[in-house]
Amino acid sequence: MKIICDSAKLAKACMNIQRTVSAKSTIPAIEGILIDALGDNIRLTGYDLEVGTETYLPAEVEENGSIILNAKNFCDILRMLPAESVMIESDERNICKIKSGETEYSIIGTSSDEYPDLPTVSAGFPIVIQEGLLKDMIRKTVFSVSTSERNPVHSGVKFEISDGKIVLIAVDGARLAIRREDIDYRGSDVSFVVPAKTLSEVVKLGEDDEKTYSISVGKRHICFEVGEYRVISRLLEGNFIDYKAAIPLSATTTVTAETRRLIECVERTALIITDRSNPIRCAVEHERIRFSSVTAIGTANDKMYATVIGNDVEIGFNSKFILDALKACETDEVKLEFNSANQPILILPTEGDRFLFLVLPVRI
């Protein structure tokens, strides 16, 4: 194999591909980036047996071929190259020469025969969604996925697509995040769970919010086409929680408040909390909300005025969980719904149903 291509573009592409390369594996080949040279392009592939990324770059291909190069070493070299172009040449012994300007390296690669094939995704009608919209929906749900290994399916975000709507759901046992939008989709109803790691990669690869993502869903795998990249991932299997049953159908207390002021009050009250098991106490009264916390450091108290309809209620909650939800709202005002000290808090938009965040209370 012998190629010449733009140093900066190759370095950027390899940095993106490197994120889906296995850092340490019993299969040395998947610790590398696979380079395939054919025609007027090179294909770069990274795959850790769960998530794979590939992209194509234009190049001057003087000799077709392929090789696997250790991802970390290769990316470190590319990042420091002095010239605008780089020549990469490998021989039958998998010795690879990398030359740019007066700088030259000779490193040992691995035969491409040892690289596993990426899964193929055969699907029906593709799901097309604006890049900025999907990234927003992912960011506003992925923070709620579970990090526990007890139920692996909850380490991903569930997609439900039907009746021209797309709904993303994430749950971790103590909180729930839901994000809804209308889309133009004419295929059959689909439901699947995508690992959080895959979605984080999809968000990082997107560079133009006005463009679109194309999503193809198979029985066990999913493929995201993100600009010049393809991200292929396994889907998570298992019984996802019946999240609709966890959402209270009514509320005895409804509060409408300024989102920014809510965030600031919670942040100030949480300053003395050093242990996540220490809750913030929230007392909803006529036209105001009082926040307080008591820890080994001392006490903190704050309050804000709000529109309150219904009964007074006092409840404890995890400050991080509430802040994560409030910061994901990105609306000037939010609606909070309560029932009792033992039932979940709901955070909703003042109009519509674009998002819903549920946080379980903490005993106070």
According to the model, what pLDDT value does residue 211 have?
Answer: 85
Report how far residue 126's alpha carbon sits from residue 261's, in angstroms, rounded to the nearest whole number. 42
- Dihedral in degrees, nearest 10, Cα atoms 325, 328, 331, 333: 10
Residue spans of alpha helices (H) in the chain: 7-18, 71-79, 131-139, 196-205, 259-269, 319-329
pTM of the model: 0.93
According to the model, what pLDDT value does residue 179 have?
Answer: 97
The full set of domains in the chain, from first to last, is 2-114 (3.10.150.10), 127-243 (3.10.150.10), 247-359 (3.10.150.10)
According to the model, what pLDDT value does residue 124 have?
Answer: 67
Q: For residues 37 and 64, is the Cβ–Cβ distance under 8 A?
A: yes
- Here the contacts of 144-152 (C-beta below 8 Å, separation 24 or greater) are 144/170, 144/171, 144/172, 144/175, 144/176, 144/177, 144/324, 144/357, 145/170, 145/171, 145/172, 145/196, 146/171, 146/172, 146/173, 147/172, 148/172, 148/173, 151/238, 152/236, 152/238
Look at residue 123 and give its three-state secondary structure. Answer: coil
Single-letter amino acid, residue 68: I
Q: pLDDT tens string for the chain (364 positions)?
A: 999 999 999 999 999 999 999 988 889 999 999 999 989 999 999 999 999 999 999 999 999 999 999 999 999 999 999 999 999 999 999 999 999 999 999 999 999 999 999 998 876 678 999 999 999 999 999 999 999 888 999 999 999 999 899 999 999 989 999 999 999 888 889 999 999 999 999 999 988 778 888 999 999 999 999 989 999 999 999 999 999 999 999 999 999 999 999 999 999 999 999 887 789 999 999 899 999 999 989 999 999 999 999 999 999 999 999 999 999 998 999 999 999 999 999 999 999 999 999 999 998 8
According to the model, what pLDDT value does residue 206 have?
Answer: 81
According to the model, what pLDDT value does residue 223 have?
Answer: 95
